[in-house]
Structure formats: C-alpha cells, structure tokens
Amino acid sequence: MSQNLNPGMSKRDLLSLIGAAAGGTAMYMAMGAFDQAKASNFKGPVKLDGSAKGKSVLILGAGVAGMTAALELGRAGYQVQILEYQDRVGGRSWTLAGGDTYTELGGATQKVGFSAGNYINPGPWRIPWHHHGLIHYCHELGIGLEPFMQVNYNAYVHSTKAFDGKPQRFRHIQADYYGHVGELLSKAVNKGALADTISKEDGEILLESLRSWGALDKDFRYVKGRESSNRRGWDKEPGGGLTAEPIPSQPMTAETVLRSGLWRSIAGNLTWDHEFSIFQPVGGMGEVAKGFERAVGKVVRLNSKVTAIQQSEAGVTVNYLDTKSGAKMTASADYCICTIPLPILAQIEMNVGPELAAAIRSIPYSTSCKVGLEFKRRFWEQDDQIYGGISYTDLPNSQISYPSSNYGAKGPGVLLAAYTGGVPGYELTALSPQERIARVLEWGSQIHTQFKSEFVGGVSVGWHRVPWVLGCFGQWSEEARAEHYKNLCAMDGRIMLAGEHASYYGGWQEGGITSAIDAITRLHQHVQAA
C-alpha cells in the first residue's frame, strides 16, 4: 500500500502515519524532529522575586516534588512545613539495601539480606541527561552521579519463540538487522527505485552512508567478512603472535532476523528517555532523598498520615494522624501544595471544586513490579562478559538489568532480575513476595543458566501493594489530558497539586521537580498580586 504525502499534510497527520506504519518508537523520534518531544523546561534555579509577605505553606508529601517546593519557598522567605506519611523522606526515590525492611499492603514483610554495598532501586533507577532539574539539584545538594549503562551490545535479547528459546547477543541482532536493511535499501537505490524521491547525487551519498551504517562490503552486500564481523563480532577474535589471525563470524539471514522479532528490542534504546548519557546516584536513588533531606529535613514531620484537607477564605487546615502515637493532630497554613499520589489523595476528604475532584479520580496508576536478586558472584561478568546494560526477554520478567558500578568486584552481586508492568505486573503483584522471587528465578534461568545455582536471596516490590502510592506512576491518556490535566494543575482556592502526575514527564522525578517549580511560581505570583 502506498501513501501520497501532499504539501498540505499537517504534522499531526504525518506523525499519525509514521506511528501506524512503524510503531510508537518511530513516531516519538519523529516528534523530536518536529520539536514536539523536548527536553525538560527547567531553565535553572527558580527566582521568586518579591516578598513572601509573611505567608506560610503546608506541603503534603516529602518526595522530590514536595522537597523541591519546600527548598525554594523557604529560600524566598515563606514559612514552610512538610507532612510525610512514611518514616523517611524521598517517596519513590527509594533504595532497598541490606538491613532494610519493607512491609507491603496485606502485611507481607521483607527484610533485605543483601551484602554491604548491594541494593536495588524499586522506583526510579536512572537519570537521563536532559533531566536538567534533577541534575541541577544533584549538583547543588552534593549527590554524586555516575554513568548508568542503558545499552550493552554484549547483553542478551531473548524470545521463547525464536532460536529454540536460546538468548542471542544484542550486537548480533542489531548488526544483522541493520546490515540486511542497509543491503536492501542500497539495492533499491541502485535500481532507481527512489529516483522520484532523491536526486542521483543524493542517491550516491545515501549509498555511501548505507555502506557505513550497515557494515556492507565494497559491493554493498552484508556478508561474512571483515566489515560485518567488526560490527557483530568474530568467531575467533584478533590476537597476537602466530595465532593472531581472526576468523569472521557468519551473519544470520534476513529471514531469520526478521522472523525472530528480536529487532523490537533495538528500538527501545533509541527513544528520547533512553539516549545516552544516563546517570545514577552513587549508592542508589535514595541518595537523592538524602541530599534534599540535608537541605530541608528540618521542616519535615514524618509519620504523619493525612486524613482531611479543608480550605477556607482564611487558609488551609489539614487533619493528620501521628502513626507512631496514634494522636490526632492538625496543621494550618495560608496555602497548601499537595504532592500526595492520586490513588491515595482520592480517598482523603478534601473540599475542592468539582473539576479538580474529578481530575484526581480520573488518572489510573501504572502496575509495575521489580524483583532484585542477589547471587554468590557476578557470573554475568565472569562467565558472560556482560558489564552493565540490560537484557530483554518476552518472558514475564521483561528485562534483566546488570549493575553499572563496582565492575569486577569479588563476592555477591545483585541484578534487577525483573521490571515488568501490564498484565504480567498485575499477576506478579498478586503473588506473595517469595512466590514472585521463585517465578523470576525460573524465568531468569532461561537466559542465564547460573541463576538457580548462584542464588542467595531477593526482594520484590509490586507497586500496587505499596501502601503510600497504590501504583507506580500516573498514566495519562490523550483524552484524559484534554479533559483533566489543566484542572489538575490549576490553583483551587488555596490548594495546588504537584508531582509527576501533574507533568508531561510522568513516571520520572524530573516531572515532580518541574511540576513543583511551576506550582510555587504560580503561587508566588498569586501572593504578589494579592
């Protein structure tokens, strides 16, 4: 089927066509070309010029959004207090390490038995380069960053339906896919099939680029030889002395690569949020929380469960329960910035307008489940030469992420052995923590045969069982955004909402930070105008 692109075609129409033909990843990359998928709008430290006029702000939730708001409002002269349900700050910026204890909804308690220095991040686990707000605060608050290895060509891609269920190296699939596509396109150019699209001169340039991109030989073929082996790897690698001569590897056929479906794993690493450079805090994502705690921890009241939020013309009063003593308490301020996740907020008595109330109830949260497993040794490095990166599978655990630090360390190591959502996420979350770990051990052993023999222990977090969120992050549909997004973010009397759910960066800490900055900027403008 052919599509005629007329000069009057809108960007929306073209993006829809790209999405229908090539899937969401291609459409998202095309959006970048049209300047519709942008970097964070964080432009540097917020400037709240003018007096705070002695006003006070009560912030609900000591996650990244709440602590950003507290830090900047405090600098501007506002009296600030944060109420936090948990006995720690950070919200979903959370690290589970040896000695930690976590109790999920339903009462199942896990005590993490990881060796010193090993951990998993149940929530956010990476920081893309264009998350300017989060990176700014990491620098300002003394939070050390190190590279996060998103793509490792020596990691695996795996399908239970291809290659008899045996995992394949990422580099083999990518090199062979690019190579065969490059050869096919070069044939089309040489036959003049693109003559109506590009000039002869541009066709020659395209041919040369395809030779480089696809690792084609001098005759524009993707075949066994130096060019392809320099991309996909050698059967016998170059060495020294009399045994130095390398032996080229044999590419798979185009039919084999296409029918395997494993080319799908390549595209995910081309998306905006997964482009290099990507970082992680040294020691785990919980270090972000600690950095903010050093700056604003003195205004946080922990173990405070909000039970009601009431506003009047004079201010806002919040009823809360001290979860340690059971005492019923209240806190008041001129204004309130609420960062409580929407599934929790929807259950709290709150006198806001019908538009905001409807928006709060309308946004479902992602089902995500993570399982971290500790092993006696880092066999993925020692046996499989995989240093960082992610292996992908069509099994329910979806992916295996290898640690991006302490390469070559002796002793136990931890893998993020499952990070999955959708139906598999629901199914895993419905199981007990021990059953989740057992399932992931079975799945992981189909990719790494060492899983069972090297296993030490594990921890699992099903986000719909996390009591203080009841889901991983807000999932907006286009229809919901059109109907509810502005209402969710708008100031309602003396109350404003902030958090990743009030952003276009859903599921990322950058969304919480930029949302908080937007909210406090508008609040400050309101105070100045008053």
**For every one of its 530 residues, what pLDDT tens digit does the chain have, with 9 covering 90 and above?**
333 333 444 444 444 443 443 333 333 333 343 333 456 888 888 999 999 999 999 999 999 999 999 999 999 999 999 999 999 999 999 999 999 999 999 999 999 999 999 999 999 999 999 999 999 999 999 999 999 999 999 999 999 999 999 999 999 999 999 999 999 999 999 999 988 888 999 999 999 999 999 999 999 999 999 999 999 999 999 999 999 999 999 999 999 999 999 999 888 777 777 777 899 999 999 999 999 999 999 999 999 999 999 999 999 999 999 999 999 999 999 999 999 999 999 999 999 999 999 999 999 999 999 999 999 999 999 999 999 999 999 999 999 999 999 999 999 999 999 999 999 999 999 999 999 999 999 999 999 999 999 999 999 999 999 999 999 999 999 999 999 999 999 999 999 999 999 999 999 999 999 999 999 999 999 999 98
Q: How far apart are CA 56 and CA 334, in angstroms?
A: 5
Residue 492: phi, psi to the nearest 5? Answer: -115, 100
Q: Which two tokens stand for residue 43?
A: 């432009």
Task: Dump strand ranges (E) for 178-245.
Answer: 234-236
CATH class of 96-154+276-284+366-465: alpha beta
Same fold, 56-90+299-364+477-529 and 96-154+276-284+366-465: no
pTM (predicted TM-score)? 0.88
pLDDT for residue 195: 87
Q: How far apart are CA 193 and CA 176, in angstroms?
A: 23
pLDDT for residue 11: 42
Domain 170-260 part of CATH 1.20.1440.240: yes
pLDDT for residue 343: 98
Q: How far apart are CA 462 and CA 300, in angstroms?
A: 27
Quickly count: other Cβ atoms within 10 Å of residue 453's Cβ: 10
CB-CB contact of 336 with 311 (8 Å): yes
H/E element, 524: helix 509-529
Q: What angle is formed at CA 173 by the lines to CA 171 and CA 179, rounded to 5 degrees?
A: 95
Domain 56-90+299-364+477-529 part of CATH 3.40.640.10: no
CB-CB contact of 70 with 47 (8 Å): no
Query: What Å distances lie between residue 101 and 28, 95, 97, 108, 116, CA to CA?
Result: 39, 11, 9, 11, 15
Helix (H, G, I), strand (E, B) or coil at 97: strand
Q: Which of 514, 463, 516, 464 is nearest to 42 (CA)?
A: 514
Q: How far apart are CA 58 and CA 335, in angstroms?
A: 6
pLDDT for residue 36: 39
Q: How far apart are CA 364 and CA 455, in angstroms?
A: 35
pLDDT for residue 196: 87
Which residues have C-beta within 8 Å of that of residue 219, sequence separation ≥ 6?
Answer: none
Q: Which of 73, 91, 83 is nearest to 469 (CA)?
A: 91
pLDDT for residue 15: 40
pLDDT for residue 10: 47
Q: Which two tokens stand for residue 74?
A: 């405090």
Sequence ranges of the domains in the chain:
1-35, 56-90+299-364+477-529, 96-154+276-284+366-465, 170-260
pLDDT for residue 375: 98
Q: Which two tokens stand for residue 278?
A: 């990507």
SS3 content of the chain, % helix, strand, coil (to 5): 40, 20, 40
CB-CB contact of 94 with 122 (8 Å): yes
Question: Angle 286-296/64-75 helices, nearest 10 degrees?
Answer: 30
Q: Which of 47, 50, 46, 45 is nearest to 529 (CA)?
A: 50
pLDDT for residue 388: 97
Q: How far apart are CA 375 and CA 422, in angstroms?
A: 27
